[in-house]
Amino acid sequence: MISFTALENFLNSNDEKSVWILGKEYDSVKDHDEILKDIRSRLWFTYRRGFSPIRDDSGPTSDTGWGCMHRCGQMMIAQTLVILHLSRDWRWNPDKFDEDYQRILKMFEDRPSAIYSIHSIASKAAFNDADRKITDWLGPSTAAQVFKKLVTGDRWTNLAAHVAAEDGIVVQEIKNLCYHNEQSQNYDASTEMNDSSWERLSRSRHERKINHFPSYYDNRALIVSNPISVEQDDEFVEIIMPPVCNVPSSPSDNEDAHPRSSDSVNSEACPAFTSTALSLKWRPLLLIIPLRLGLHELNMMYAPHLMNLFKLRQCVGILGGRPMRALWLIGNIDDKEVIFLDPHITQPAAIFSQSSPEAFSSLEASFHCSSFQQLPLNLLDPSLAAGFVCPTENDFDALCEDLKKTGIAPALFEVHDIRPSYLPPPSFSAVDTPEGWGEVCTSVSAPHLQHDSSYMSSSGVKTGSNGDFEML
């Protein structure tokens, strides 16, 4: 049983401590009221009961007991939307009508047609994995992949979502993604999309991703060895190892052309990023980076860097907690404890279209938490997913610079200006499932398949079917 401490007890003490909440610093004594206002203004999603069955008439009508990571993911996405449509400094005022705020809330209603509803999340997770049940709990990385697909239906925000893999942040490729607009920039459709529509959209995007390799790799053979294998950790949980892939250097390659560390951006190394792309409008970036900071418990050597994530103004929180008890982490106290919002409270289903004007106010209030908690850092599970939002290209550049200045990169993950030659091509990094790895492997022509035992030692990542991975 995890022991949580009420944050109000801490705030009522006379000990001055530094408090960081999603990129903002406070003094625990002098800024007492501002801390409370800030946390209460975050959108809080919890278990709900009494909504329409998910997927079919026999589906669940409550997510109690299994939907906590779904709800934490909703909180991260909601914070992203608040920053983009309302600003980080926005504060909830129940007496003031805010059209954009209400529009955001309706995107999370407990009904199938809402883009980020519990119905959409659970259905998309099961759609991606035939062995997954609607009521299966999600890990942080799996949740990140699900939301990456769901944002494609949000034409109002027009997000470019990227979930990092073992390659960390490759600046050039993420900029390509953000400058590649998939719909008219003036398009302002309804915030709703039916299930079949986003499933078709997801399939088409997945097919394009699998069948395309960047021109940087087009003329070089892929070396694939060590096919997909299944191992078990100490708790007999399956860990699936993806096929090992390497792109051999061409005769003209040298260390100057393809450095192993971050380097100035080279447009020739990634021809898709051209002056034409630069003339397009930047799509706001949602960047989610899954982390595994230990095997069975959090390795405290990562603690300072993990705490520094909350000091970045682009941070939209961290998905974490414990297995089967997910929490949305939003800040820290003196770099020792984390502040979180807890979804483990069951409330009636939230459906605004069925609420009378009188009932709307109380329903709206159910999305804002009046009690907050803190947790010692060492009690966190090592499997996490950190989220960042970059409304502009300058925000993304500043994020990458701050990650390196603070030492977060390379301590937790790496930041590369261009893809180093020793990393697999992005199509491999972007594949979401073991089945996807198989599809990519079979697309490589037989003459190119060779055994490369040396590459295995340079690969430090194992990816699991539950969306989490082990850092060796």
Q: What is the pLDDT of residues 230-288, one digit of tens each?
A: 444 444 444 444 444 444 444 444 444 444 344 444 433 444 444 444 558 999 999 99
The angle subtended at Cα 334 by Cα 328 and Cα 335, nearest 5°, is: 60
* pTM for the predicted model, two decimal places: 0.73
The pLDDT value recorded for residue 180 is 81
The pLDDT value recorded for residue 173 is 95
Where is 5: in which H helix or E strand?
Answer: strand 5-6
C-alpha distances (whole Å) from 137 to each of 94, 133, 144, 322 are 33, 9, 13, 12
How many CB atoms neighbour CB 208 within 10 A? Answer: 9
Distance of CA 428 to the CA centre of its chain: 18
Quote the domain boundaries for residue 163. Answer: 5-471
Pairing status of strand 415-416 against strand 461-463: unpaired
Question: How many angstroms separate the most distant Cα atoms in the chain?
Answer: 73
| Residues forming a β-bridge with 467 | none
> Token match 């000990």: residue?
15
C-alpha distances (whole Å) from 116 to each of 143, 157, 206, 263 are 12, 13, 20, 38
Where is 10: in which H helix or E strand?
Answer: helix 7-11
The answer to whether residues 343 and 52 touch, using CB atoms and an 8 Å cutoff, is no
The pLDDT value recorded for residue 355 is 67
d(CA 213, CA 52) in angstroms, rounded, equals 42
**Active-site residue, selected from the candidate residues 38, 68, 154, 245:** 68
3-state class (DSSP) for residue 302? helix
Model confidence pLDDT, tens digit, residues 171-191: 999 999 999 865 444 444 444
C-alpha distances (whole Å) from 446 to each of 74, 208, 222, 315, 463 are 43, 22, 10, 44, 25
**Active-site residue, selected from the candidate residues 31, 195, 335, 344:** 344
Q: What is the DSSP letter of 111?
A: S
End-to-end CA distance of the chain: 28
> Token match 């997000």: residue?
159
Q: Before 376, cis peptide (omega within 30)?
A: no
- For the chain, residues with pLDDT lower than 70 are 1-14, 181-279, 354-358, 427-472
**Active-site residue, selected from the candidate residues 38, 110, 167, 342:** 342
The question of whether 68 is a catalytic residue gets the answer: yes
The answer to whether residues 240 and 215 touch, using CB atoms and an 8 Å cutoff, is no
When divided into structural domains, the chain yields a total of 1
The question of whether 315 is a catalytic residue gets the answer: no
How many residues belong to the chain? Answer: 472
Q: What is the DSSP letter of 301?
A: G
The answer to whether residues 374 and 4 touch, using CB atoms and an 8 Å cutoff, is yes
